[in-house]
Amino acid sequence: MRGNFSPGGSKCHRPTLEVGILNPMSMLISIPGLLAAIMIHELAHGYMADALGDPTPRAAGRLSLNPLVHLDPIGTLMLIMFRFGWAKPVPINVMYFSDRRRGMLLTGLAGPMSNFIAAVIASYIFLQFRFLGATVATILYYFLMYNLWLGLFNLLPIPPLDGSHIAKSLAPYGSGLWHAMQQLDQYGWMLLILLLVFRIIPRVLFPVANAMQGWIFSLVSLVII
């Protein structure tokens, strides 16, 4: 992480985050934002499924504000080290949905969209309340960026990410895309780990996340008096 914060001044410099493993101090500071972003993402999945008539997330205890119940060990390690990773999937039974394809689409979109909304709210707080101090501002900035990273990463159409469920819900049953997603199910985890370890995903999505952060800051700045 580079750049500096000027919470009490008239200008607040945006740090930029680059591809690479975080140093131990940055890892420690980033943990609150990481846990909060994961909790928001998984709660959105759970509550959307619950609203559509699926009691499975509630019965499994996944409508919880405790971020620890949503953590996947490998996915969390990837998030800390490479800023892209995954949480423990919320159990969902599409048989409870009156329209299964629509239910899969909405529950798939709920997680990433909740992260993007959280990023907008965090941007407003970050820009509006500069008196919070450098440490709090840094934690808030990590929360903002982890929401962007988590949202973008989960839109990739690679199982078991949300993007794969969205793609399946949109693909005609029995189509080439539908069969491709079915075949990819058994190799998805391995493919994701390889793409993260060799930093292919970070190198592709980091510029997108940084661009989104800039756009959000620009839009939020328009409404701040």
Catalytic residue among 33, 37, 40, 42: 42
Q: CA–CA separation, 37 vs 60, rounded Å? A: 20
C-alpha angle 116-122-161 in degrees, rounded to nearest 5? 30
18 is a catalytic site residue: no
Q: Is residue 158 within 8 Å of residue 184, measured between CB atoms? A: yes
- The alpha carbon dihedral of 209, 212, 119, 64 has a sign of negative
- In 3D, which of 224, 221, 124, 102 has the Cα closest to residue 169? 102
Looking at the annotation, which residues are catalytic? 42
